[in-house]
């Protein structure tokens, strides 16, 4: 159920500026109070503060994204509202089909755990989602998707996603009456106490343009990012855009949001890469707030929309000479994995610490609803399986964190690209008789034995994978040969995708050796391919294969033939 809030327009000049869009929801949602009553009675005994947790029980993280839902209505939008609170809730809920009913929590010490549903009871307004059109959700229930049980109050958190009050399912559907733009936000009070640089209000906002087909950027960070004090420290704020729009990062203007405080002194962010730099010399240890704005851009560089990421930074002092944990193979950090709707996906997240006696604690944030990632006790090495069957298409960004006992921390962001199944997928043929085994692609049109590699330039990034020199990918365009071998065979092609006169997409052909061929059997039907992009990012995908054991045809592994770019095999 949504409810109406009074709307107040800012003074005239603001109506035509981003400042108006940014401040209007604050004036309506915070200063006006919007009937500050929960949508259902709250039992004081059920609140985290009743168990001695106080303000430690509240805001650590907030991020709102959206996608259009034209299957529901012309201006319908589906919001994903992620947050992190203290794991202090001892009353949990279940969806009965029409409403929420109380049920015991399943986490350690009888508190909320992964898979539980909580009712937001600390914030005066219940951390509602305001849609920007005068409507809001009211107090929300959240599904716990991951947790970090800890005896340290600040680190004892749950990562959650908001549930639709009408269906009890993850994500929230809202239908607008026009294409806006609207500013959706979740500002409320109170965040965790004791922050060095900001007050109690927390939240983020996003520009929503229903009916345009646009999808917002997506990001993800752990609720609390540990940073070691000493010199300039750097870390990335990962993000992607399902529409391929260029992105630009910035530190959110505190004045524009209406929050009280300031970004950490001597902090900056690279607008083109999202890498944060912070000179930590002389800074006090403890918790700091930061909020990042990620803008999506039109081709002319103007702002198309934006999302915000609100998170905390924990400045720590580690043991001299301490080495942070490292993610290890087969983990593919800062890369992506490709899968299809309703196709089970599973991969291992592994990390180790080179320091004798250290152990590694693994935690996930941004874990999709329905996925499983359940790390065990700290160990060295440590590994946990991630498993998920995605119900819908689109990118998902998850972040895995490895932390050692001294507080040193390493992040591993991974993008999961979910596509519709190919109704007529190509089949890769693997001949285990050849030594080393090779993997070939028989295209539908040319029936040539070849593989396709997509490389990246500064203007266009296209997904690709490789294994022992094998690279695969997808794209489209016309034949523009740029290289041939001594026999006149085309080895690569280029395409000016964006029309600026420079090559954006390069496609090369090869038939390559396959690693770990001994693990293949004649019954193998699917192959996992691991590799990297030109910029070093790791990537993972699966391919349908047919394993054969036949004498090789002379010259078959060198039979490269020209191929149209829109014919080649598409990585699932």
CATH of the domain at 368: 2.60.40.10
* Structural domain contains residue 338: yes
What global pTM score does this model have? 0.76
What per-residue confidence (pLDDT) applies to 202? 77
Residue 13 falls inside a structural domain? no
How much is the pLDDT for 18?
44
The overall average pLDDT reported for the chain is 74
Residue predicted with more confidence, 362 or 243: 362
Residues 172, 125 within the same domain: yes
Count the residues in the chain.
572
Cβ atoms of 455 and 472 closer than 8 Å: no
Residues 6+ apart with CB under 8 A from 68: 76, 77, 78, 210, 211, 212, 213, 214, 215
* Interatomic CA distance for residues 536 and 539, integer angstroms: 9
In a domain, 9, yes or no: no
Q: How many percent of the chain have pLDDT more than 70?
A: 64
Exposure of 327 by Cβ count < 10 A (0-12 exposed, 13-18 middle, 19+ buried)?
Answer: buried
Find all residues with CB under 8 Å of 435, minimum gap 6, and list them.
none
Is residue 23 scored above 50 in pLDDT? no
> What's the confidence (pLDDT) of residue 518?
55
244 with 288, same domain: the answer is yes
Same domain? For 176 and 269 the reply is yes
Residue 424 reports pLDDT greater than 70: no
Asked if residue 361 and residue 453 are part of one domain, the reply reads no
Residue 100 sits in the same domain as residue 198: yes
Would you say residue 182 lies in a domain? yes
The helix (run of H) or strand (run of E) holding residue 115 is: none
> How far is it, in rounded angstroms, from Cα 352 to Cα 126?
39
Is residue 10 scored above 70 in pLDDT?
no
Q: Containing domain of residue 520, as a range?
A: 428-551+560-571
Q: Is 507's pLDDT higher than 50? A: no
Are 447 and 390 part of one and the same domain?
Answer: no
d(CA 561, CA 431): 20
Q: Is residue 25 part of a domain?
A: no
Q: Mean pLDDT check: name the lowest of 153-162, 191-200, 243-252, 410-419.
A: 191-200
Look at residue 543 and give its three-state secondary structure: strand
432 and 417: one domain? no
Q: What confidence tier does 338 reach under pLDDT thresholds 50, 70, 90?
A: confident
Number of compact structural domains in the chain: 3
Q: In terms of DSSP bridges, do strands 117-119 and 141-148 run parallel, antiparallel, or are they unpaired?
A: antiparallel
Say if residue 274 is in the same domain as residue 359: no
pLDDT of res. 539: 52
Residues 281 and 192 grouped into a single domain: yes
Residue that is last in its domain, among 421, 449, 472: 421
Task: Assess whether the previous peptide bond of 177 is cis (omega < 30° from 0).
Answer: no
Residue 67 pLDDT class (50, 70, 90 cuts): very high
In the listed set 280, 308, 336, which residue is the last one of a domain according to the structure? 308
Same domain assignment for residues 528 and 442? yes
CATH number of the domain residue 488 falls in? 2.60.40
Q: At which of 377, 392, 421 does a domain end?
A: 421
Tell me whether residue 7 is in a domain: no
- What confidence tier does 336 reach under pLDDT thresholds 50, 70, 90? confident
Q: How confident is the model at residue 565 (pLDDT cuts 50, 70, 90)?
A: very low
- Which of 412, 388, 385, 408 lies closest to 398 in space, CA to CA? 412
| 83 vs 564: which has the higher pLDDT | 83
Does residue 266 lie within any of the structural domains?
yes
Smallest Cα–Cα separation from 458: which of 508, 500, 412? 500
**58 and 204 assigned to the same domain:** yes
Cα–Cα distances in angstroms (integers) from residue 544 to residues 95, 124, 431, 523, in the given order:
39, 53, 14, 12
Question: 12 lies in a domain?
Answer: no
pLDDT at 423: 66
342: its two tokens: 């309703």
Q: What is the pLDDT of residues 378-392, one digit of tens each?
A: 999 999 999 999 999
* DSSP string for residues in 494-532: EE-SSSSSS--EEEEEE-EE-TTGGG--TT--EEEEEEE
Q: Is the pLDDT of residue 560 over 70?
A: no
Q: Which residue has the tokens 């320091």?
A: 355
pLDDT digits (tens, 9 = 90+) for 253-291: 877 666 667 899 999 999 999 999 999 999 999 999 999
Examine the domain organization and report whether 455 and 537 are in the same domain.
Answer: yes
Burial class (CB in 10 A: 0-12, 13-18, 19+), 270: middle
């Amino acid at each position: 159920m949504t409810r109406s809030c009074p709307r107040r327009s800012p003074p005239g000049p603001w109506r035509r500026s981003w400042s108006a869009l940014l401040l209007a929801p604050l004036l309506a949602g915070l200063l006006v109070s919007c009937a500050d009553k929960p949508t259902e009675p709250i039992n004081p005994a059920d609140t985290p503060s009743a168990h001695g947790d106080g303000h430690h029980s509240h805001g650590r993280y907030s991020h709102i994204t959206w996608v259009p839902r034209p299957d529901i209505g012309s201006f319908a939008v589906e919001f994903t509202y992620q947050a992190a609170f203290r794991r202090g809730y001892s009353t949990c809920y279940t969806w009965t089909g029409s409403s929420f009913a109380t049920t015991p929590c399943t986490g350690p010490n009888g508190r909320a755990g992964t898979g539980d549903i909580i009712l937001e009871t600390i914030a005066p307004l219940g951390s509602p989602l305001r849609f920007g059109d005068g409507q809001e959700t009211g107090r929300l229930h959240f599904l716990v998707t991951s947790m970090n049980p800890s005896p340290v109050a600040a680190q004892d958190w749950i990562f959650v996603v908001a549930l639709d009050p009408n269906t009890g399912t993850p994500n929230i559907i809202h239908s607008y009456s026009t294409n806006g733009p609207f500013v959706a936000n979740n500002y409320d009070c109170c965040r965790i106490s004791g922050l060095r640089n900001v007050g109690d209000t927390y939240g983020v906002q996003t520009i929503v343009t229903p009916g345009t087909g646009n999808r917002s950027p997506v990001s993800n960070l752990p609720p609390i990012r540990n940073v070691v004090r000493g010199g300039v420290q750097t870390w990335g704020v990962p993000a992607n855009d399902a529409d391929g729009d260029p992105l630009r990062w910035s530190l959110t203007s505190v004045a524009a949001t209406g929050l009280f405080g300031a970004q950490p002194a001597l902090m900056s962010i690279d607008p083109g890469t999202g890498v944060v730099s912070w000179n930590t010399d002389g800074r006090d240890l403890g918790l700091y707030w930061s909020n990042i704005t990620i803008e999506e851009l039109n081709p002319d560089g103007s702002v198309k929309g934006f999302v915000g990421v609100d998170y905390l930074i924990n400045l720590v002092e580690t043991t001299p000479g301490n080495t942070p944990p490292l993610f290890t193979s087969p983990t593919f950090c800062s890369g992506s994995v490709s899968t299809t709707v309703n196709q089970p996906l599973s991969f291992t997240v592994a990390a180790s610490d080179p320091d004798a006696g250290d152990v590694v604690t693994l935690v996930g944030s941004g874990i999709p609803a329905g996925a499983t990632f359940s790390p065990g006790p700290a160990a060295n090495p440590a590994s946990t399986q991630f498993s998920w069957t995605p119900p819908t298409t689109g990118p998902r960004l998850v972040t895995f964190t490895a932390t050692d006992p001294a507080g040193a921390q390493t992040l591993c962001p991974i993008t999961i690209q979910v596509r519709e199944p190919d109704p007529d997928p190509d089949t890769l043929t693997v001949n285990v008789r050849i030594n080393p085994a090779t993997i070939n692609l028989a295209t539908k049109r040319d029936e040539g034995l070849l593989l396709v590699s997509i490389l990246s330039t500064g203007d266009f990034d296209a997904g690709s994978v490789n294994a022992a020199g094998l690279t695969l990918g997808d794209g489209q365009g016309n034949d523009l040969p740029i290289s041939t071998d001594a026999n006149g065979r085309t080895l690569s092609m280029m395409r000016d995708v964006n029309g600026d006169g420079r090559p954006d997409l390069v496609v090369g052909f090869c038939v390559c050796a396959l690693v770990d061929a001994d693990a293949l059997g004649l019954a193998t039907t699917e192959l996992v391919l691991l590799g990297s992009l030109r910029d070093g990012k790791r990537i993972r995908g699966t391919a349908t294969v047919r394993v054969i054991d036949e004498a090789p045809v002379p010259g078959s592994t060198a039979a490269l033939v020209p191929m149209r770019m829109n014919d080649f095999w598409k990585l699932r």
